[in-house]
């Protein structure tokens, strides 16, 4: 959800399918049905056979299809940048980027057709044709294991494009080399055709894939997500031209362009852009709270940071402090900073196959034996620190105007922090006591900060209005991954206030403590912060007040894609099965229930009942539901979340939950929007409302004579 559209009350709907609850454990099933362990007569059931026939050896392609999450993370439907279809696209483009890095081909063509299938054409050297089939279908096969050939590549594990092949219903690869083209087609990883023929086309590689819709259900490629991904590639590879559906994407100033395109607040001084061997940084300060970072390794956007980002944060503050020779706190130096770092590392180690957090400690692999011929490689922390110490210090000495503005910003942050030191201490003590029993928070068991928990990304918190709404959600939530924070009513309008209000206002202080974001997002406890308000004017106002709070004091929470709005239905339309005339509707409902039952065995709404129910999120959906469930269906208008029973609410926050992500872009002009809609220009807003007022009249229908 774009900030601009939210403030002008337009709500484009997006569907987000959350991961299912885990199936029952054997222990739980045994408790419910003793016949699993004991026979019907109470005796011990015979043990199942376990012999050679139970041992299976899967091919690499079969294993990828059986366990896709091990290779691409989440599946998803394409509504989020982390969804699997974008990982597939990235794996294909990464190979083309590696060709560019090896000085082979400076343009890439990417086309997305009907938001469903993708083709990528580069003009590099082309896959060696003799091994082309193996290169795209056999795991642990590739040309990047020799670091001399692909020294700074991110695709070193021999998995990437094989996963694309395995998880696509249709996959094609063409290798153009020296007047010959070899073409091969696959279906779900199985070769169906292979031909070689003459060609006049330039050398390079062409790959087409269509994700398997039996795995990526209801998926669509979203143009804005794809374009952002491609722009990141151009920022990190200056001179590379990417043609995306006929549009040319190019960057000439690298990370400087990235910051200019991403910043939603004006820079206080010209962006500092510095480059060295295997490292590039750019940074500035803006009039905003928090810290904003973009980090990359070998062209890969590490959205969760890693060792290189940690090193940058440490050494940029240390260098600036030493330059000014003042006893500044690091938090004051970094408040309002907007920065980017790109590092090239030999054979980088990531914390997962999706490569969103760097785990490498050194700039190159540590040799098995360390001696004069094989010295210990330099650490990433030292490499980044040495570069920043020398280059940033030199820059500030050469540009005193920039240094003066920077000093003013740091001193302003210091004054504000000291001014609220007393209230901050009291608020922390209050929050610490409240954490023992926070009456506003009904917590869950699994948190986003639980590093080793496989379900941490499912963790979310619903911010609700009033006890009635929070009561319905609390009774129907998944206590493992879903927390609830209850507001007293309309929160304070924080526009134009300082961060002192976060500590003075008890409700905001408890919310900050619940999220654990006082010192940044590194300790964020919930992956999704979901605003759940009524679908009326008051609910919309509360929604805007909460979003304003996050924009003012924690904008990074929105930039990193953690804030969502829960879409709740406006109407319920239902009718008895026996009255519905359309047989196709009955068949579709039975198929839907069967599919849900196969995915999650303990969702109450999956039980077949005498009624077929449609929950409608718009007037158009209501009209269609009346048509499908006619004649004379029962129609209920929901006025608030508290009117929805816990049994029904379970469906709205379960597998079919609809979430709309709050997004933030440079073109949103956030400050102007906040000033107009949330500021003190009462008369200006009043005139706007009067000029655009629409009066609706409910007139009784005239009876036909």
Each residue of 643-673: pLDDT tens digit? 778 887 887 888 778 888 888 776 667 777 7
In this prediction, residue 432 carries a pLDDT of 60
User: Domain 421-568+661-689 class?
Assistant: alpha beta
Which position has the token pair 């929160």? 491
Q: What is the pTM of this model?
A: 0.73
The H or E element that residue 64 is part of is: helix 60-66
Asked if 220 and 77 touch (Cβ cutoff 8 Å), the reply is yes
pLDDT of residue 351: 77
Q: How confident is the model at residue 598 (pLDDT cuts 50, 70, 90)?
A: low
* Short-list 101, 13, 225, CA closest to 658: 13
Mean per-residue pLDDT for 217-235? 92
Q: What are phi and psi of 204, to 5 degrees?
A: 145, -170
Among the CATH numbers 3.40.50.880, 3.30.360.10, 3.30.565.10, 3.30.1330.10, which is that of 70-249?
Answer: 3.30.565.10
Residues forming a β-bridge with 463: 485, 531
Residue range 164-168: mean pLDDT, rounded:
93
Cα–Cα distance measured from residue 272 to residue 256, given in angstroms and rounded to the nearest whole number: 8
CA 223/CA 217 separation, integer angstroms? 18
- Note the pLDDT of residue 628: 87
Q: How many helices (H) and strands (E) does the chain have?
A: 24, 22
pLDDT grade, residue 39 (50/70/90)? very low
Q: If DSSP codes are grouped into helix, strand and coil, which group holds residue 416?
A: helix
Portions of the chain given CATH number 3.40.50.670: 421-568+661-689
Q: Residues of CATH 3.30.230.10 domain(s) within the chain?
A: 255-367+375-419
Per-residue pLDDT at 609 exceeds 80: no
Tokens of 705: 């004579």
d(CA 356, CA 348): 12
697 Cβ partners below 8 Å, 6+ apart? none
**What value does the mean pLDDT take over residues 430-442?**
64
Instruction: Indicate the pLDDT class of residue 684, thresholds 50, 70 and 90.
Output: confident
Range with the poorest average pLDDT among 3-12, 437-446, 611-620, 681-690: 3-12
Strands in 300-301's sheet, in edge-to-edge order, are: 272-276, 279-285, 337-343, 292-297, 300-301
117: helix, coil or strand? strand
Ordered strands of the 441-442 beta sheet: 441-442, 482-487, 460-465, 528-532, 563-566, 659-661
**Which pLDDT score is estimated for 433?**
56
pLDDT of amino acid 429: 66
Task: Give all strands (DSSP E) within 261-312, no chain letters.
Answer: 272-276, 279-285, 292-297, 300-301
With 90 as the cut, is the pLDDT of residue 30 above it?
no
Outline which parts of the chain fall under CATH 3.30.565.10.
70-249
CATH 3.30.230.10 is right for the domain spanning 255-367+375-419: yes
């Amino acid at each position: 959800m774009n900030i601009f559209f939210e403030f002008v009350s337009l709500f484009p709907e997006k569907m987000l399918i959350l991961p299912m609850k885990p199936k029952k454990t054997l222990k739980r099933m045994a408790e419910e049905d003793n016949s699993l362990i004991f026979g019907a007569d109470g005796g011990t059931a015979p043990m199942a056979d376990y012999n050679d026939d139970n041992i299976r050896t899967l091919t690499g392609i079969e294993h990828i299809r059986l366990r896709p999450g091990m290779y691409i993370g989440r599946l998803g439907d394409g509504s989020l940048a982390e969804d699997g279809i974008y990982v597939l696209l990235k794996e294909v483009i990464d190979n083309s980027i590696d060709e560019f890095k090896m000085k082979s081909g400076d343009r890439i063509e990417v086309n997305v057709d009907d938001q469903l299938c993708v083709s990528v054409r580069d003009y590099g050297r082309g896959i060696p044709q003799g091994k082309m089939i193996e290169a795209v279908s056999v795991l642990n096969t590739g040309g990047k294991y020799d670091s001399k050939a692909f020294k700074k590549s991110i695709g070193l594990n021999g998995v990437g494009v094989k996963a694309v092949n395995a998880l696509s219903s249709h996959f094609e690869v063409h290798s153009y080399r020296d007047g010959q083209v070899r073409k091969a087609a696959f279906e779900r990883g199985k070769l169906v055709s292979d031909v070689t023929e003459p060609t006049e086309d330039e050398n390079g590689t062409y790959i087409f894939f269509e994700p398997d819709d039996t795995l990526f259900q209801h998926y669509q490629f979203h143009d804005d997500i794809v374009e952002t991904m491609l722009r990141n590639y151009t920022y990190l590879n200056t001179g590379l031209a990417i043609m995306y559906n006929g549009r040319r994407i190019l960057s000439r100033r690298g990370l400087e362009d990235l910051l200019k395109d991403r910043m939603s607040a004006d820079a206080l001084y010209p962006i500092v852009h510095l480059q060295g061997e295997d490292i590039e940084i750019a940074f500035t300060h803006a009039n905003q709270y928090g810290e904003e970072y973009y980090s990359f390794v070998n062209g890969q956007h590490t959205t969760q940071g890693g060792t290189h980002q940690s090193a940058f944060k440490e050494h940029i503050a240390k260098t600036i402090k030493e330059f000014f020779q003042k006893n500044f706190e690091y938090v004051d130096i970094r408040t309002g900073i907007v920065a980017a770092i790109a590092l090239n590392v030999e054979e980088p180690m990531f914390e997962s196959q999706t490569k969103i957090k760097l785990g490498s400690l050194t700039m190159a692999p540590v040799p098995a034996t360390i001696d004069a011929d094989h010295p210990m490689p330099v650490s990433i922390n030292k490499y980044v620190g040495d570069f920043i110490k020398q280059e940033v210090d030199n820059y500030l000495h050469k540009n005193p105007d920039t240094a003066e503005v920077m000093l003013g910003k740091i001193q302003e942050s210091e004054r504000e922090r000291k001014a609220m030191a007393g209230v901050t201490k009291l608020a922390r003590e209050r929050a610490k006591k409240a954490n023992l029993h926070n009456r506003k928070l009904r917590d869950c068991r699994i948190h986003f900060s639980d590093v080793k928990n496989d379900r941490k990304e499912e963790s979310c918190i619903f911010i609700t209005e009033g006890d009635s709404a929070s009561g319905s959600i609390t009774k129907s939530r998944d206590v493992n991954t879903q927390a609830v924070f209850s507001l007293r009513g309309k929160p304070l309008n924080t526009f134009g206030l300082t961060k002192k209000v976060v500590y003075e206002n008890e409700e905001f202080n408890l919310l900050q403590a619940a999220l654990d974001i006082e010192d940044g997002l590194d300790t964020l406890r919930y992956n999704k912060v979901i605003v759940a308000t009524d679908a009326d004017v008051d609910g919309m106002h509360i929604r805007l007040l909460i979003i304003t709070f996050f924009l003012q004091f924690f904008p990074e929470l929105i930039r990193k894609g953690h804030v969502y709005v829960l879409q709740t239905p406006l109407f319920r339309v239902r009718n008895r099965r026996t009255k519905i005339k359309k047989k196709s509707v009955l068949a579709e409902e039975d198929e839907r229930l069967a599919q849900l039952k196969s995915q999650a065995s303990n969702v109450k709404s999956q039980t077949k009942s005498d009624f077929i129910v449609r929950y409608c999120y718009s007037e158009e959906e209501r009209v269609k539901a009346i048509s499908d469930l006619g004649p004379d269906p029962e129609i209920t208008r929901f006025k608030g979340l508290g009117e929805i029973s816990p049994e029904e609410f379970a469906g709205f926050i379960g597998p079919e939950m609809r979430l709309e992500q709050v997004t933030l872009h440079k073109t949103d002009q956030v400050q102007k929007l906040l000033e107009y809609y949330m500021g003190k220009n009462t008369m200006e807003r009043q005139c706007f409302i009067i000029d655009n007022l629409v009066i609706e009249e409910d007139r009784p229908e005239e009876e036909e004579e």
